[in-house]
Structure 1
Amino acid sequence: MKLPSHGRYDFHPIIERPDYAWPDGKRLAVCIVTNLEVYAYLKGTGWDPAKLNEPQNQRNYSWRDYGNRVGIWRLFDLFDKFGIPAAHNVNSLLYDDHPQIFEKIRERGDEIVSHGRTNAERQGDLWEIDEQRLIADVTEKISANEGAPPRGWMGPAASESRVTPDLLKEAGYRYVMDWPADDQPFWLRTRSGPLLSVPYPAELNDSAAIIHRRQTAHDFAQMIVDQFDEMVELSAERPLVMTISLHAFVVGQPFRLKPLREALRHCVEHKLKDRVWWTRPGDIADFCYQLPPGLVPGEGPAPSTP
Structure 2
Amino acid sequence: MPDTVGTAPQEHGRFDFSAITSRPKLEWPDGARVALWVIPNIEHFLFDRPSSSIIQSTTSFVPDVLNYAWRDYGVRVGIWRMMEIMEKYGVKGTVALNSDACVHYPAVIQAGQSLDWEWMGHGTNNSSVITGIPEDEERRIVREVVSTITQATGTAPRGWLSPALTETHQTPDILAENGLRYVANWTNDDQPYEMRVRSGSMLSLPYSVEMNDYTAFLEQGLSGRDFGDAICDQFDQLYADGASTGRVMSLCLHPFLIGQPHRAKHFERALKHITAHDAVWLAKGGEIADWYTSTRGR
TM-score (structure 1 length as normaliser): 0.91
Matched, 1:169 2:176: yes
**Equivalent residue of 1:249, what SS?**
helix
Match of 2:84 in 1: 77
The 5 Å alignment of 1:105-124 reads: 105-124=112-131
Q: Distance in 2 between matches of 1:89 and 1:36?
A: 6
Identical counterparts, % of pairs:
36
Structure 1 contact 42–61 (Cα < 8 Å) conserved: no
Aligned to 1:292, which of 270, 273, 296? 296
The Cα offsets for residues 11-70 of structure 1, whole Å up to 9 and x where unpaired, read as 010000001311122221001110000011022x51101227933611111111100000
Give unmatched runs, 5+ long, in structure 1.
294-302
Q: For the aligned residues, what is the CA RMSD?
A: 1.5
The 5 Å alignment of 1:1-306 reads: 4-43=10-49, 45-51=50-56, 54-55=59-60, 57-269=64-276, 273-293=277-297, 303=298
Q: Distance in 2 between matches of 1:53 and 1:222?
A: 32
Shift of 1:284: 0.3
Where do 4+ consecutive residues of structure 1 move more than 3 Å?
none
Match of 1:298 in 2: none
**Equivalent residue of 2:257, what SS?**
coil
The Cα offsets for residues 238-275 of structure 1, whole Å up to 9 and x where unpaired, read as 01000000100001010111222112111111xxx221
The Cα offsets for residues 157-213 of structure 1, whole Å up to 9 and x where unpaired, read as 101011000000011100000000100000111111431000000111000111112
Structure 2 contact 109–153 (Cα < 8 Å) conserved: no
Q: Distance in 1 between matches of 2:113 and 2:134?
A: 34
Q: Distance in 2 between matches of 1:259 and 1:202?
A: 19
The Cα offsets for residues 91-129 of structure 1, whole Å up to 9 and x where unpaired, read as 001111211101111110010111111000011121111
Give unmatched runs, 5+ long, in structure 2.
5-9
Structure 1 contact 42–58 (Cα < 8 Å) conserved: no
